[in-house]
Structure formats: C-alpha cells, structure tokens
Structure 1
Amino acid sequence: MLWPLVVYGAIVLSLVGLILGLSYVLGQRHKERATGEPYEGGIVSAGGARIRFSSQFYLVAMLFVIFDVEVVFILAWAIAFRELGWYGYAGVAVFVLMLVVVLIYEWRNGALDFGPDGNKILAAYKKMQKPAA
C-alpha cells in the first residue's frame, strides 16, 4: 500500500539529483573579486552586520505581528459567517473592539512613536533662539 509513496519519493529524489548534477556540470564558474561579496542592490556594503537597532524597532515589529495574526481570526470568521450567525458576529465584534482598545492603549503609551518627537525638537530649537535675541 505504501509503494506509490516510495515510487513518488524515488522520482522526486532522482529529479533533484539530476537537476543539481546538470547545474554543476553546465553552470558557470568564475573567480572575480566581487564573486564572494553580498550584493545589496548595487550598493557597496560598509561596516559590519552586527549593528544595534533601537528597542522601538522590535516593539513595532512585535505589534505588527500581533495585529497581523488577528487577520487570520477575522478571515476564519468571515468564511464561517453563515454557520455562526449573530453569535459569531457578536463574538468578532467584541474581538475587534478589544483590538481597537489595545491599539489606542499602545498609541497613548507611545509604543507607535519610533522617531524623534517633533514637540521636543521645536522646544529645543526655541531655547536655542532665545539667547541669540
């Protein structure tokens, strides 16, 4: 009963081996200076790959993942809308309301601010202008 799976696996492995072998035999080989360097859109890389990112970057990334996963739940509800009826609608309405409340909470706490604060920059600029007058 497993013989179709074994035959399929053998065919797949033989095709993979054939493609890799042909790529090795027919592929180009060159040893220029830039062959081993990473290519980033034509820009020569400078510095190391171990640069530090602000923790705000990771916070925004986590919030994106959290608010992106919610789409899966809402999409599943939309697919099963007719079977769930009004109880399902009420459940997804509460879910979306909770997401809006969390988004407002995060916005008020400054979790979505990942740049310089314009008000602080203007206040510092005004302080610099006062002694000159």
Structure 2
Amino acid sequence: MVDLTQYLPILLFLGVALGLSALFVFLPMGVARLTGAHKPDAQKMSEYECGFPAFEDARDRFDVRFYLVAISFILFDLEASFLFPWAVSLDQTGWVGWGSMMIFLGILAVGLAYEWKKGALDWE
C-alpha cells in the first residue's frame, strides 16, 4: 500500500494558493459592486490604450502600425533580457561572446534603422 500522507503539505499549499488567488480576484470585484464604484459610463468604456474602439465589427481594418510597435517592443524587451546574462557571463565567454553579442546588437540596430527609415515609428 502506498502512503499518500507525504503529499498532504503539497495539497495544503495548493489549497491555500487557490484560496488566496480567488480572494485577490473576487474580493475587489465584490467590494466595487457593493460600494458603487462599478458604474460604467461612456468615459470609462472609451478606448484609452489601443487607439481604436473595442466593441466594433471584428472585420474592420485598422492601422498595421499597432502591430509594428508591439513587435518592436517585444524585440527590444527580449534584447534587454539577453543583455543581462551576457554581461554576467562575459568573463567566461571572452571575446567570442563579446563579438557574438555585438553582431546581435548590430542586427537589431540595422532593423531599427530600417523601421525608422520606412516611417513605421512615426505616429500621427
């Protein structure tokens, strides 16, 4: 027979984590409903981040620059996440590591210059 009591702390941990996460999600929503903070109006429902109305036909066309800026952000965010481990391990990788990172940064710089030249970063 297998003794399953050794898994009790894990089950207890998962139960507490599930309970706390549910509390952190549903408690603010309930408090907002009870205190009257949940009163949607035109100002609250207006678009403020994406630049186009959220509740329209899904087949409407919109500017592709939203995607270009998002992809650029992701690329440079990943670049920053690659730079930290590279800087920490530079003494072990030596000149080969330094040269490969300079090639990587050069490719990113060429891509940014191309994007800039094509006007993808110009916002109207």
- What's the TM-score bracket when you normalise by the shorter of the two chains? 0.5 to 0.7
The amino acid that maps onto 2:55 is R
1:50 and 2:64 correspond = no
Number of positions where the alignment pairs a residue of Structure 1 with one of Structure 2: 108
Q: Separation in 1 of the partners of 2:121 and 2:19? A: 51
Q: Separation in 2 of the partners of 1:7 and 1:54? A: 54
Q: Separation in 2 of the partners of 1:98 and 1:79? A: 22
Query: How far did residue 93 of structure 1 move?
Result: 1.1
Name the CA shift for 1:7/1:55 in 2 (closer, same or farther; >3 Å). Answer: same
Q: Which has the higher contact order (CA 8 A, sep 6+)?
A: 1
Residue among 78, 100, 112 paired with 1:69: 78
The amino acid that maps onto 1:73 is F
Listed as ranges, the gaps of 5+ residues in structure 2 are 48-52
Name the CA shift for 1:16/1:108 in 2 (closer, same or farther; >3 Å). Answer: closer
Q: Separation in 1 of the partners of 2:34 and 2:76? A: 47
Name the CA shift for 1:81/1:11 in 2 (closer, same or farther; >3 Å). Answer: same
Query: How far did residue 10 of structure 1 move?
Result: 2.4
Q: Separation in 2 of the partners of 1:59 and 1:109? A: 11
Listed as ranges, the gaps of 5+ residues in structure 1 are 116-133
Question: What percent identity do the matched residue pairs reach?
Answer: 31
1:92 and 2:101 correspond = yes
Matched residue, 2:69: 60
Matched residue, 2:50: none
Name the CA shift for 1:105/1:33 in 2 (closer, same or farther; >3 Å). Answer: same
Q: Separation in 1 of the partners of 2:15 and 2:82? A: 41
The amino acid that maps onto 2:9 is Y
